């Protein structure tokens, strides 16, 4: 019993001694799990939808000779087209030593629930009736500034202007349409105004006998009836009488477009 006990004790001591054996290796710290990275925070309201963009705004210079570019950092919602926010920033710009406010002494604003619509590269802007306080030249200048600003957006190539939902004319008789505008950068504003004024019907002559060439936006219905699509066209009108303008527009056929083939668009034929 005593021998057996001793043998067991020896065996136990050997085992204990053996457990103390180790190779000549450096004990390395065990690999730990990486720290937990913070996941995306849950959005608070719609704040996560906001993004900051630097936008070029075009405003008339102090001497109203040209349009100058100024840059504004705007907070724009990602789920909305930036055109309306840009336009509101443009209309509310107070001017500075280099540029004048867009409407001068007249405060311009947007009208209606959807004052800015974009279709087929054509942006239609609906200004409130306060724009009618402007002279024709100042309204034209404001329209050029709006056009230059909005056409900085990649999906806007032309701009149509409405005032209180109605197209505006550039003459007293209401015959000369403003048409669809494209940016006229690098040109002096008085020169552009003179070019537009030259299209007016001369005193003593009839609008019907004053030809006009202008860019107009035509709307063609889709072949499947799912909607209409805008297409700006350069049109020569035989005269400036409203009937002549409408008939000349009706006689146009749609052209092939990048996103819609000609077969998808059916023209409206004049009755």
Shortest distance in whole angstroms from residue 94 CB to other proteins? 17
Q: Look at residues 153, 140, 70, 55 and name the one whose alpha carbon lies nearest to residue 103.
A: 140
Contact range with other proteins by CB under 8 A, out of 19-27, 48-56, 118-126, 201-209: 48-56
Could you tell me how many residues of this chain bind other proteins (CB under 8 A)? 23
Please report, for residues 83, 123, 128, the alpha-carbon distance to residue 155 in angstroms, rounded to integers and kept in the order given: 10, 9, 24
213 binds other proteins (CB under 8 A): no
Shortest distance in whole angstroms from residue 65 CB to other proteins? 6
Q: Residue length, the chain?
A: 271
> What residues have CB less than 8 Å from 108, skipping those under 6 apart?
91, 102, 127, 128, 130, 131, 142
Q: For the segment 183-202, give every residue that binds other proteins (CB under 8 A).
A: 185-188, 190
Strands 50-60 and 116-119: unpaired
50 binds other proteins (CB under 8 A): no
Q: How far is CA 129 from the centre of its chain?
A: 23
Q: For the segment 78-137, give every residue that binds other proteins (CB under 8 A).
A: 98, 100
Shortest distance in whole angstroms from residue 56 CB to other proteins? 6
Contact residue for other proteins among 50, 65, 80, 135 (CB under 8 A): 65
Shortest distance in whole angstroms from residue 148 CB to other proteins? 8
Furthest-apart CA atoms within the chain: distance in Å: 142
**Which positions lie near other proteins, rule CB under 8 A?**
53-56, 58, 61-71, 98, 100, 185-188, 190
């Amino acid at each position: 019993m005593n021998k057996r006990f001793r043998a067991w004790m020896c065996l136990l001591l050997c085992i204990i001694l053996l457990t103390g054996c180790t190779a000549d290796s450096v004990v390395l710290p065990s690999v730990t799990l990486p720290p937990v990275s913070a996941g995306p925070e849950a959005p608070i309201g719609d704040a996560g939808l906001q993004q900051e963009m630097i936008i070029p705004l075009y405003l008339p210079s102090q001497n109203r000779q040209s349009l100058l570019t100024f840059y504004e950092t705007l907070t724009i919602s990602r789920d909305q087209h930036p055109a309306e926010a840009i336009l509101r920033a443009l209309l509310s710009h107070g001017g500075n030593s280099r540029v004048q406010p867009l409407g001068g002494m007249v405060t311009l604003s947007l009208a209606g629930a959807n004052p800015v619509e974009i279709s087929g590269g054509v942006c239609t802007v609906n200004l409130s009736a306060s724009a009618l306080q402007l002279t024709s030249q100042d309204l034209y200048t404001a329209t050029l500034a709006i056009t230059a600003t909005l056409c900085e957006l990649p999906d806007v190539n032309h701009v149509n202007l409405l005032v209180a939902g109605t197209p505006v004319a550039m003459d007293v008789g209401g015959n000369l349409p403003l048409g669809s505008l494209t940016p006229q950068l690098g040109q002096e504003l008085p020169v552009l105004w003179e070019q537009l004024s030259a299209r007016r019907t001369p005193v003593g002559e009839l609008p019907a006998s004053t030809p006009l060439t202008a860019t107009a936006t035509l709307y063609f219905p889709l072949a499947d009836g799912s909607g209409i699509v805008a297409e700006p066209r350069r049109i020569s009108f035989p005269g400036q009488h409203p009937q002549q303008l409408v008939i000349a527009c009706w006689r146009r056929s749609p052209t092939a477009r990048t996103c819609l083939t000609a077969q998808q668009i059916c023209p409206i034929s004049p009755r």
